[in-house]
Amino acid sequence: MKLLSTKATCNSHGQDSSYFLGWQEYEKNPYDQVMNPEGIIQMGLAENQLSFDLLESWLDKNPDVGGFKSAGKSIFRELALFQDYHGLPAFKNALVDFMAEIRGNTVTFDPDHIVLTAGSTSANETLIFCLAEQGDAFLIPTPYYPAFDRDLKWRTGVEIVPIPCNSSNNFQITESALQQACEEAKKRNLRVKGVLVTNPSNPLGTTLSRDELNLLIDFINEKNIHLISDEIYSGTVFSSPYFISVMEILKQRNYHKDSHPDVWDRVHVVYSLSKDLGLPGFRVGAIYSENDTVTAAATKMSSFGLISSQTQYLLSALLGDKKFTKKYISKNKKRLKRRQSLLVSGLQKAGINCLQSNAGLFCWVDMRHLLQTDTFEAEMELWKKIVYEVRLNISPGSSFHCSEPGWFRVCFANLSQDTLNLAIKRLRSFVAESFPAAAHHHQSRESSKTRSLSKWVFGLSSRVREQEER
């Protein structure tokens, strides 16, 4: 007789992905400026540690909240006792207001249609449980977050079918790619129940365009399926084109709840405070759905992963401080933009380019020219050198199901500026020593740009002088 379940002994969790293996190598030999300066620098972790000082400053100014007091009196016992799994009304109200503020108040959210969960991992899995059966499928554009293979599939039994996107159009979603994914699902005898997108994208660091969002709405209407929009990076958009929520698209198309209830019942949003506020350890996630049946079912399921009352109380006060949230959102975006620019410019000096991005805590980095062959085997060989020789933990594109070898995700917001500069220095040295041809090509190209610019500036100066003499 088997003593353990099939679930306990199966290997479908995805922990053996290179995405997670890189973390394991980092944990064996973590970089520390003093204790281990030759260790592996963690650039595979999408955490936002750039604005902790703003949060800590707010806590210092609001000691009663951190001490679980109200009007100077302790409410610890009240918070410590059992709370209804619907969540604290004050927190739900503050959360939906914050979600609207991040979106420029172009849309509003009804607190009665939000379900609180222990992070976005729980939110996504709960939605899949509500929308699909074992053996059904969701379509997801590539490249996509590696842990979706765990979060969406492992316990639900639901399958993922990739929507193939590539660099020829900067990995944008196309109608042909959607239809190709449907055909693939049909070949595998899978019933497609919906599409899941991350907007902004992890790992691309880009926002979905208005055309892509309209295409997705048309597609789910044609197929009569669901759309899940994972918008946990919505507050990290630091430059144009700016973020457009799927909810804004429904509003602009005049798809009102009363006139188009079928559409509203099939569009769902996932949100979290893990990325925008940098609070993954607080385990705060949410599902927003206008589908009453989904909301009711998800609320019941949320009892398996609740947010503590203490966390809800603290964050309801923080998010309810509108002066603070406005300041935080603005400063956080400026810091992200500055840090992303540092990484991009540093990589360019090493002869490495990035996909042009406007959001997120990472860059999608193009190292195709450093591959020995145009294969995923060559990508893994390069990745191993970067992990073990350069001692940087970055994530290979194959772990994100990218269709083209040679792309890597590199995170920039979880480490100090000094550590980032060291990481760039290590990578530049590696490229110069191991790929001199690539480094020489980059230097030649930069010299050509400089000559062209000098010629242009000289010519311009001459024309200006001529005009002045006239």
DSSP string, 135-156: TEEEEEESS--TTHHHHTTTTT
Quote the DSSP letter at residue 69: E
pTM comes to 0.89
Structural domain boundaries of the chain?
6-52+332-442, 64-325
Distances (CA, A) of 324 to 57, 233, 278, 295: 10, 19, 15, 30
Q: Which residues are catalytic?
A: 145, 230, 232, 275
Distance CA(355)–CA(173), nearest Å, equals 15
Pairing of strands 159-163, 136-141: parallel
Cβ–Cβ contacts within 10 Å for residue 435, how many?
Answer: 18
Quote the DSSP letter at residue 215: H
Distance CA(327)–CA(253), nearest Å, equals 32
**What is the end-to-end Cα distance of the chain in Å, rounded?**
100
Closest CA to 318 of 48, 62, 51, 50: 62
Total length of the chain: 470
Structure tokens at 418: 């000094």
Q: Are 357 and 337 in contact (CB under 8 A)?
A: no
Any idea which architecture 6-52+332-442 has in CATH? Alpha-Beta Complex (3.90)
Distances (CA, A) of 352 to 84, 240, 406, 434: 52, 23, 11, 14
Distance CA(300)–CA(399), nearest Å, equals 33
> What CATH number belongs to 64-325?
3.40.640.10
Q: Are 312 and 300 in contact (CB under 8 A)?
A: no
Cβ–Cβ contacts within 10 Å for residue 352, how many?
Answer: 23
The pLDDT tens digits along the chain (470 residues) read 678 877 777 766 566 677 778 888 999 999 999 999 999 999 999 999 999 999 999 999 998 888 887 877 888 777 777 677 788 899 999 999 999 999 999 999 999 999 999 999 999 999 999 999 998 999 999 999 999 999 999 999 999 999 999 999 999 999 999 999 999 999 999 999 999 999 999 999 999 999 999 999 999 999 999 999 999 999 999 998 899 999 999 999 988 877 788 889 999 999 999 999 999 888 999 999 999 999 999 999 988 888 888 899 899 999 999 999 999 999 999 999 999 999 999 999 999 999 999 999 999 999 999 999 999 999 999 999 999 999 999 999 999 999 999 999 999 999 999 999 999 999 999 999 988 766 555 555 544 544 444 444 334 344 433 433 33
